[in-house]
Structure 1
Amino acid sequence: MALLDNLLAEITPEEQARTDRKMRIASIIADTLVEKGMAKKDFAQKVGRKPSEITKWLSGRHNFTLDTLTDIEQVLKIKLITDKRKAAAQKQVLGGLRA
């Protein structure tokens, strides 16, 4: 237990944030595959990758490129990257319409 505590103490907040983000992305991809009934092999084929690479993606340790994230979004028809400024502007517009 002390070893684990020591290792965790060495992780910077920035490293933890990156790890958390990778895990969230992996979880979204995995959940979407289940929701769509898509096998990893079929998904791999659609994104032009090997099934072993998809397994790595789903581990939560993969450092995705923007190109890869864009490919995943297109194949799964989901959004992994959002523009908070755009979302805030849309929220303001919708709020104004409701008033």
Structure 2
Amino acid sequence: ASVRINGKDKGVVWTKPFRVDITDGLKEGENDVIVEVTNSWFNRVAGDEMAVAPTKYTQTNVVLGNDFRGNAVSEITLESSGLLGPVTIQVAVEQK
């Protein structure tokens, strides 16, 4: 997911703990937070493998005869994706 606060790019997070420091982008009052989420690579490749139509959205040498769980292509379950939890702003307490 890419994160912007008040128009300032705060970078991309792609693995846990999915946190970015927005301190220098905050202002008094209301703030504009934008989180753009991209589907996982596994879901994209698996989606192409499972598609009935010949349209492929990816170009890769990866062929999923089975998924990483050992399921056949016909039984692949896509992973949950998108913004799955609450977005929270946490205040960090400095330790001395």
TM-score (normalised: structure 1): 0.24
Structure with larger RCO (C-alpha < 8 A, sep 6+): 1
Which protein shows a greater Rg? Answer: 2
Q: Which has the higher helix share?
A: 1
Structure with greater strand percent = 2
